């Protein structure tokens, strides 16, 4: 059982900076969990504490039921895949993949068998005698994966493994890594700042902001029920529209006075309204939408403009007639999310 359990894990760097506030969550055996958040949110620090590359200031870390706070990285039964691949340039692919096993004094015949199995799995069989410099970026990434796989670890840790690849290769490799992880069934923790990677690869996503967990959930939960304006605007491209509105006279009203939702007459004060661009209905309803720019994306179009003087984007299918100028939109009630304007929390 390679379950991972974080109990109030906290990191304060020697200069006094609290990079990770006490954070708790459990990862199930075989689960693929993605830690996502903007630069500096603490995701690498958290991963490095799990790997044992960074001391844990306080809290408890268990891997496969064993408390590992003070266990050496080499004894945690983990394999880590880094952004820069960390391959040895003077060694062949075969030796790079088998290196960790050789260090563990595994018999040569077994190393050969495991390396060849991993190479077949990763489409690297024809490249075993090349050096890393004779490989493409995607192939180097696969070698790094191969080195992790042959060790047969309880846990894979990935630190932004695709960030050095171009967009097309990233898409391809993200599918490959996900498929491979499912096939091997190894519990995995994957760090990225790319919300598309998080959405497409994760069984569950942990969204981090300024060293704090903002939300934990499946990609669908995170996307459809964001717990805060931070999550709403971080996940989704383009992000959820967030419009300032007011509780007034028994309704939630835009600054232009248009009522978009019924509310108790007793409610007063500001409120933030959220709606995903694809939930906006163009040409229906009575909310004025001033379109400044139509972005053509082939299968669909993005309309960028303003509602009640605030930035707003609508996503429409390709045969919807759309040009810059004055439009009306419907904001379907079922698609609206309400957030506390002050705290950003979902209401
Ligand atoms: P990125 O995507 O840019 O790598 P990240 O989310 O992985 O960002 P971390 O590298 O975990 O962020 O860093 C979290 C915070 O801790 C940052 O504000 C960073 O400046 C700070 N930090 C990192 N290492 C140290 C250190 N050794 N001493 C003090 N502060 C540090």
Given the DSSP bridges, would you call strands 241-248 and 251-253 parallel, antiparallel or unpaired? antiparallel
Confidence of residue 248 (pLDDT cuts 50, 70, 90): very high
Q: Beta strands 187-192 and 155-159: pairing type? A: parallel
pLDDT bucket at 115, cuts 50 / 70 / 90: very high
Whether residue 180 contacts residue 164, with contact meaning beta carbons closer than 8 Å, is answered with no
Ligand 1 centre and the CA of 211: distance in Å?
Answer: 9
Per-residue pLDDT band for 1 (boundaries 50, 70, 90) equals low
What domains sit in the chain, N to C, each tagged with a CATH number? Answer: 4-234 (3.40.50.300), 241-339 (2.40.50.140)
pLDDT at 84 over 80: no
CA distance 270 to 322: 32
User: Is 39 a pocket residue for ligand 1 (Cβ < 6 Å)?
Assistant: yes
pTM: 0.92
What pLDDT is attached to residue 244? 96
Ligand 1 site-directed mutation target among 9, 42, 212, most atoms within 8 Å of CB: 42
Pocket of ligand 1, candidates 12, 16, 35, 41: which has the most ligand atoms within 8 Å of its Cβ, to mutate? 41
CB-ligand 1 contact for 82 (6 Å cutoff): no
Q: What is the dihedral of CA 106, 108, 113, 119, to 10 degrees?
A: 90
Task: State the pLDDT at residue 71.
Answer: 96
Residue whose CA lies nearest to ligand 1 atom number 10: 44
pLDDT band for 321, please (50, 70, 90 cuts). confident
Q: Whose CA is nearest to atom 21 of ligand 1?
A: 19
pLDDT digits 0-9 by tens, 177-215: 899 899 989 999 999 999 999 999 999 999 999 999 999
- For the record, the structure tokens of 259 come out as 């009522």
**Residue 240 phi, psi (nearest 5):** -60, 140
ipTM exceeding 0.95, yes/no = yes
Q: Is 122 helix (H, G, I), strand (E, B) or coil?
A: coil
Contact (Cβ atoms closer than 8 angstroms) between residue 146 and residue 119: yes
């Amino acid at each position: 059982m390679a379950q991972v359990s974080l109990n109030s894990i906290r990191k304060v760097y020697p200069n006094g900076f609290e990079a990770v506030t006490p954070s708790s969550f459990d990862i199930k055996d075989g689960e693929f969990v993605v830690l996502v958040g903007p630069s500096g949110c603490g995701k690498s620090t958290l991963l490095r504490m799990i790997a044992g590359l960074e001391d844990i200031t306080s809290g408890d870390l268990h891997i496969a039921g064993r408390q590992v706070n003070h266990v050496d990285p080499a004894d945690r039964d983990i394999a880590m895949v880094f952004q820069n691949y960390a391959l040895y340039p003077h060694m062949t692919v075969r030796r790079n993949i088998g290196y960790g096993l050789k260090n563990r004094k595994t018999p040569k015949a077994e190393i050969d068998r495991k390396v060849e199995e991993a190479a077949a799995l990763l489409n690297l069989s024809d490249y075993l005698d090349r050096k890393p410099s004779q490989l493409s970026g995607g192939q180097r990434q696969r070698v790094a994966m191969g080195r992790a796989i042959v060790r047969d670890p309880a846990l894979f840790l990935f630190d932004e493994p695709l960030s050095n690849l171009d967009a097309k290769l990233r898409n391809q490799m993200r599918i490959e890594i996900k498929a491979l992880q499912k096939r091997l069934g190894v519990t995995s923790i994957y760090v990225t700042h790319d919300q598309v990677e998080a959405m497409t690869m994760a069984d569950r996503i942990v969204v981090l902001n300024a060293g704090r967990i903002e939300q934990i959930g499946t990609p669908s939960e995170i996307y459809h029920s964001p717990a805060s304006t931070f999550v709403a605007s971080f996940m989704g491209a383009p992000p959820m529209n967030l419009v300032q509105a007011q509780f007034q006279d028994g309704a939630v009203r835009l600054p232009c006075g248009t009522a978009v939702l019924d509310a108790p007459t007793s409610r007063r004060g500001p409120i933030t309204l959220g709606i995903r661009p694809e939930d906006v209905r163009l040409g229906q309803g009575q909310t004025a939408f001033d379109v400044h720019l139509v972005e053509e994306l082939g299968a669909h179009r993005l309309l960028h403009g303003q509602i009640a003087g605030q930035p707003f984007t609508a996503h429409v299918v390709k045969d919807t007639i759309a040009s810059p100028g004055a439009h009306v939109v419907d904001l379907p009630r079922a698609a609206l999310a309400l957030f506390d304007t002050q705290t950003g929390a979902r209401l």
